[in-house]
Amino acid sequence: MKRIRRIFKDASVGFAARLNECRYRVLSFDAVDRLASLRMPNAGLLPHIMIDPRRIEFKCNIRGADAGTDLLFRSGDWDCKRKSFADVEANDPRYVTCRELMRDRMPVEETMEFGYLLDRISRHGRAHGSSSRDDLVRYLSNLRTFYETIERDGRLLTQAELGRPRHGGEINCAVDRDGVLLKIDKGNHRFAIARLLGIKAVPVQISVIHSDQLEFVRAQDRTSGLRAVNAYMHLIGERYRS
């Protein structure tokens, strides 16, 4: 059943990416002055850029109305709700547990994420697909194995290399009003292990850009909105490489 759900989800992501590209090319004529209507995921955009994860200084959680849209360009103060990575790595259960599993070799039942998820199960019945202590032990044991595989290989595979949709599932990042790259929502476990191991290049997807960057994006290519965004994403990638 889980495999069937994943196949359906992958097909849905791929269809949405192609549909959003077609919609922009046909209905918006790929015009740079229509970029505010560009939606994600989008098969017309770069599926990922490669960055050094240790060059990202802030994490931002996009919540509420700010998260309830698939527009690439978003206005408002969503980019102000951020934490430094010093704070994140000291207090976020996912980042702390990555260190506990790999550096400290701690039993999974003693990790911060185990306690955090067990508390959520006691209050809500389920957490992260788990509903019991045994589920959590399996989940965190598998997570340690996943981390060890990344340590052995020295890199993170892209979604395409994993046989997944190219335009969905990468580590999510956003660009704030000043052009600063932020870590957002999905892919925290992968980002945590990449930072811990000092991996110099990891694939990330820019899924949100602050609307204040629109004019700079348009300036990258005045003849094609999609090419303008791709050129802009390439610039961000160059800026955040090691």
HSE-up of 72 (CA within 13 Å, CB side)? 29
Phi-psi region of 56 (alpha: psi -120 to 50; beta: other; left: phi over 0): beta
Instruction: Please provide the average confidence, as pLDDT, over all residues in the chain.
Output: 96
Distance CA 232, CA 222 (A): 12
Q: What is the mean pLDDT of residues 129-136?
A: 96
pLDDT tens digits for range 203-237: 999 999 999 999 999 999 999 999 999 999 999 99
Identify which of 44, 69, 70 has the alpha carbon closest to the alpha carbon of residue 228.
Answer: 44
> For residue 132, what are the contacts with CB-CB under 8 A and spacing of at least 6?
121
- Residue by residue, DSSP assigns the chain as -HHHHHHHHHHHHHHHHHHHHHHHHHHSTT-GGGGGG-BSS-TTS-S-EEE-GGG--EEE---GGGTS--BSEE-SSGGGSEEEHHHHHHH-HHHHHHHHHHTS---GGGSHHHHHHHHHHHHHS-BTTB-SHHHHHHHHHHHHHHHHHHHHHTSPPPTTTTTS-TTSSSEEEEE-TTS-EEE-SS-HHHHHHHHHHT-S-EEEEEEEEEGGGHHHHHTT-SS-HHHHHHHHHHHHHHHT--
Place of tokens 């094609």: 224
What is the predicted pLDDT for the residue at 8?
A: 85
Instruction: Say if CB 56 and CB 183 are below 8 A apart.
Output: yes
Convert the pLDDT of each residue in 19-37 to its tens digit: 999 999 999 999 999 999 9
Give residue-wise pLDDT tens across range 112-126.
Answer: 999 999 999 999 999
Q: How confident is the model at residue 191 (pLDDT cuts 50, 70, 90)?
A: very high
Region 10-26: mean pLDDT is 97
pLDDT, residue 65, reads 62
| 9: confidence class by pLDDT, cuts 50, 70, 90 | confident
Between helix 133-153 and helix 93-102 the angle, nearest 10°, is: 70
Q: What is the C-alpha to C-alpha distance for residues 194 and 200, in angstroms, rounded to an integer?
A: 8
Residue 2: predicted pLDDT? 73
pLDDT for the residue 1: 66
pLDDT the model gives residue 7:
83
Asked whether the bond before 41 is cis by omega within 30 degrees of 0, the reply is yes
Q: For the chain, how many structural domains are there in total?
A: 1
Q: Which residue segment(s) compose the domain that 213 sits in?
A: 2-239
Q: How many CA within 13 A on the CB side of residue 183?
A: 27
Indicate if the pLDDT at residue 185 is higher than 80: yes
What digits encode the pLDDT tens for the residues 82-106?
A: 999 999 999 999 999 999 999 999 9
Residue 66 has pLDDT above 80, yes or no: no
Written as six digits, the tokens of 83 are 């934490």
